[in-house]
């Protein structure tokens, strides 16, 4: 057994779980009218109501003890102090420096990184203002109308999510597009109706070596050169990367390279120059408001006692369901159309960070780690997978994200949206007992035999836990808060599980094998030494491919 599962706090939680298991939240709410007051916290306008969880005050005390015994506070402080907590890559984890809005120096390896951070922010401001004001133009003198971000994973998902969330801040004459998949359909469909004269490409890649991004960038460059000539590249391509040499070798003027640093992990990089598309499309002031939101959450996380610390509470509840109830899945359900991409963004942030089975000392863990994250915007999700959440045989913990106000003045829509948000969390908590079903059906005059037949199907077990996060409005500031909230939640869980949340070696094997298999598909090398499935599939695909060409 690992130190974690042997620890007295873990053991206490294991015993406590046996007491909590039979309790129903419906009864807990009936007995205690102060549950909401007891189990809700606020931070700069965001509310977390976690009262609809299968917890008592004792549960939270024990979970907080667990966090303390796992040194969450100490390791948090080490992260903010620029320590190399990404041990397998020997790097600091310092995305918090990117949104440090105070005068406090942020030190890594004895150097304050803030002057560099501010220099890049200023460069982003100058460039984005030039483009937005029409001072930077395409090679033929026309204004830029479309910004195409070419990147994948952390160099794509956060930017799409943020821009979709802040679409109401977008001008009509400057819009974003994204190319990430190496499937040529993505590139071709994105470029299909674009005018090269008014298009600006951002090649966004931390390493500038990711196969998909480099091929997409090369094909996009050919598309441009074919239409406007080689000279056009300098007016239509900029780069965001940590690798100056590769940017130069690709043919992009390094004066128009926006740098960041190895202490920014890919999935934590939306705050860096990777967010250039955000600055271009909604303006640098809005981008900086997003940084302010991230900073506000950082300050909350850094200074609030664990008992009232929003990311810590969310992390601990995740541990409670994952490790003690044994649930493997967590759903994130934003009730705001602008946040539709948020669950997908979180999938990378959470699953690439905490999808690990080896602890920091190199041993396999004997407990479960990061959950499977999925989700979609309500109310649409209610009409797709909510049936399973209410009555399925799997248990899923859930975050509902509600937004009190809308950017559009159709009040009736907002009222219906919010009432659905409230109805779902209430239904999931209370359920509907068989006695209630029978009473309801007989009040409608249904014959007893039919009631007997229908009652079990129409019964809802309830007792399904949900967190309710409520934002005043989707703004750059609240988006910043929300992203940082989940980043810190993931961080705290990684600390408790004693894993490195900041590497991603698991993605490497597939990349390596794809490189080896490419020449076998093109016929440059013979198909030898493969397992029979891979060999069979290779041969079959090669045959089909030939037929199609």
Cβ proximity to ligand F6P, 416 vs 507, nearer residue: 507
Binding mask 8-47 for ligand F6P (x = CB under 6 A): ----------------------------------------
Q: According to the binding rule CB under 6 A, does residue 207 interact with ligand F6P? A: yes
From 86, 165, 205, 322, residue interacting with ligand F6P (rule: CB under 6 A): 205
Q: Position of tokens 């890919």?
A: 266
| Other beta carbons less than 10 A from residue 495's beta carbon | 23
Cβ proximity to ligand F6P, 196 vs 275, nearer residue: 275
Cβ proximity to ligand F6P, 72 vs 157, nearer residue: 157
Q: Position of tokens 């441009």?
A: 224
Q: According to the binding rule CB under 6 A, does residue 152 interact with ligand F6P? A: yes
Q: What are the backbone dihedrals phi and psi of residue 399, each rounded to the nearest 5 degrees, phi first?
A: -110, 120
DSSP collapsed to 3 states, 27-58: HHHHHCCCHHHHCEEEECCEEEECCCCCCCHH
Q: According to the binding rule CB under 6 A, does residue 266 interact with ligand F6P? A: yes
Listed in sequence order, the residues at least 6 apart from 203 whose beta carbon sits closer than 8 Å to its beta carbon are 150, 151, 213, 217, 237, 238, 239, 240, 241, 247, 250, 252
Cβ proximity to ligand F6P, 114 vs 215, nearer residue: 215
Q: According to the binding rule CB under 6 A, does residue 347 interact with ligand F6P? A: no
Strand partners, 238: 202
Binding mask 466-505 for ligand F6P (x = CB under 6 A): --------------------------------------x-
The H or E element spanning position 334 is strand 329-335
User: Residues with catalytic annotation?
Assistant: 352, 383, 511
Min dist. Cβ of residue 515 to ligand F6P (A): 14
Query: Which one of the spans 37-45, 62-70, 203-211, 316-324 is the region binding ligand F6P (CB under 6 A)?
Result: 203-211
Q: According to the binding rule CB under 6 A, does residue 431 interact with ligand F6P? A: no
Q: According to the binding rule CB under 6 A, does residue 153 interact with ligand F6P? A: yes
Query: Which one of the spans 151-159, 250-258, 334-342, 383-391 is the region binding ligand F6P (CB under 6 A)?
Result: 151-159
Cβ proximity to ligand F6P, 99 vs 267, nearer residue: 267
Contact 145, 194 (CB under 8 A): no
Tokens representing residue 167 in the block? 């679409």
Longest distance between any two alpha carbons in the chain, whole Å: 82
Query: Which one of the spans 18-26, 147-155, 398-406, 538-546 is the region binding ligand F6P (CB under 6 A)?
Result: 147-155
Query: Which one of the spans 33-41, 202-210, 393-401, 539-547 is the region binding ligand F6P (CB under 6 A)?
Result: 202-210
Min dist. Cβ of residue 207 to ligand F6P (A): 3
Q: What angle do CA 307, 310, 311 make, to 5 degrees?
A: 110
Listed in sequence order, the residues at least 6 apart from 529 whose beta carbon sits closer than 8 Å to its beta carbon are none
CA distances to 82, 110, 111, 239, 317 from 116, rounded to whole Å, are: 15, 14, 10, 17, 38
Tokens representing residue 480 in the block? 């910043």
Min dist. Cβ of residue 156 to ligand F6P (A): 8
Min dist. Cβ of residue 266 to ligand F6P (A): 3
Q: 72-80 and 57-69 helices cross at what angle (nearest 10)?
A: 50
The H or E element spanning position 4 is helix 3-6
Min dist. Cβ of residue 7 to ligand F6P (A): 31
Binding mask 209-228 for ligand F6P (x = CB under 6 A): -x--x---------------
β-strands 237-241, 257-259 pairing: parallel
- What 167-171 contacts at long range (C-beta under 8 Å, 24+ apart), as own/partner pairs, is 167/338, 168/338, 168/407, 168/408, 168/474, 169/282, 169/283, 169/286, 169/476, 170/281, 170/282, 171/132, 171/281
From 16, 95, 132, 267, residue interacting with ligand F6P (rule: CB under 6 A): 267
Q: According to the binding rule CB under 6 A, does residue 270 interact with ligand F6P? A: no
Residues that bind ligand F6P (CB under 6 A): 152-155, 205-207, 210, 213, 266-267, 352, 504, 507
């Amino acid at each position: 057994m690992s130190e974690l599962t042997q620890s007295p706090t873990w053991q206490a939680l294991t015993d406590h779980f046996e007491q909590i298991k039979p309790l129903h939240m419906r009864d807990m709410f009936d007995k205690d009218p102060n549950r909401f007051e007891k189990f809700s916290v606020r931070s700069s306008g965001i509310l977390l109501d976690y009262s609809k969880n299968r917890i008592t005050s004792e549960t939270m005390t024990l979970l907080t003890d667990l966090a303390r015994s796992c040194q969450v506070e100490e390791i948090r402080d080490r992260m903010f102090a620029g320590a190399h907590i990404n041990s397998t890559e020997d790097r600091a984890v310092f995305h918090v420096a990117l949104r440090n809005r105070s005068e406090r120096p942020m030190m890594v390896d004895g150097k304050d990184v803030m002057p560099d951070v501010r220099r890049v922010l200023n460069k982003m401001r100058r460039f984005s203002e030039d483009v937005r004001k029409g001072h930077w133009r395409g090679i033929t003198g026309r204004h830029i109308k479309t910004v195409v971000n070419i990147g994948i994973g952390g160099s794509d998902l956060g930017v799409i999510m943020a821009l979709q969330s802040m679409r109401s801040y977008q001008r009509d004459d400057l819009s974003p597009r994204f190319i990430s998949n190496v499937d040529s359909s993505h590139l071709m469909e994105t470029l299909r109706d674009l005018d090269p004269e008014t298009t600006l490409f951002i090649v966004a890649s931390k390493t500038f070596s990711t196969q998909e991004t480099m091929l997409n960038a090369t094909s996009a460059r050919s598309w441009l050169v074919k239409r406007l000539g080689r000279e056009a590249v300098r007016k239509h391509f900029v780069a965001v990367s940590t690798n100056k040499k590769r940017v130069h070798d690709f043919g992009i003027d390094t004066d128009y390279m926006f740098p960041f640093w190895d202490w920014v992990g890919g999935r934590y990089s939306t705050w860096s120059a990777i967010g250039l598309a955000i600055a271009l499309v909604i303006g640098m002031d809005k981008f900086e408001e997003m940084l302010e939101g991230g900073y506000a959450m950082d300050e909350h996380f850094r200074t609030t006692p664990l008992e009232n610390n929003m990311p810590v509470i969310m992390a601990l509840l995740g541990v409670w369901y994952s490790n003690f109830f044994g649930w493997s899945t967590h759903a994130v359900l934003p009730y705001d159309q602008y946040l539709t991409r948020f669950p997908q963004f979180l999938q990378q942030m959470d699953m690439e960070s905490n999808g690990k089975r080896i602890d920091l000392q190199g041993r396999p863990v004997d407990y479960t780690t990061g959950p499977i994250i999925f989700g979609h915007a309500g109310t649409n999700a209610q009409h797709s997978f909510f049936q399973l959440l209410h009555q399925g045989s799997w248990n899923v913990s859930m975050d509902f994200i509600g937004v009190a106000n809308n950017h559009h003045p159709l009040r009736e829509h907002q009222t219906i949206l919010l009432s659905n948000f409230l109805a779902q969390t209430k239904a999931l908590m209370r359920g509907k007992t068989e006695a209630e079903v029978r009473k309801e059906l007989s009040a409608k005059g249904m014959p007893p035999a039919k009631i007997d037949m229908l009652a079990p199907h129409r019964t809802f077990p309830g007792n399904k836990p949900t967190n309710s996060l409520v934002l005043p409005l989707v703004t750059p500031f609240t988006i910043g808060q929300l992203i940082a909230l989940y980043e810190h939640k993931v961080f705290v869980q990684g600390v408790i599980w004693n894993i490195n949340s900041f590497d991603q070696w698991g993605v490497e094997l597939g990349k390596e094998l794809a490189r080896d298999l490419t020449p076998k598909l093109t016929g440059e090398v013979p198909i030898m030494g493969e397992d029979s499935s891979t060999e069979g599939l290779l041969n079959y695909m090669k045959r089909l491919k030939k037929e199609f060409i």
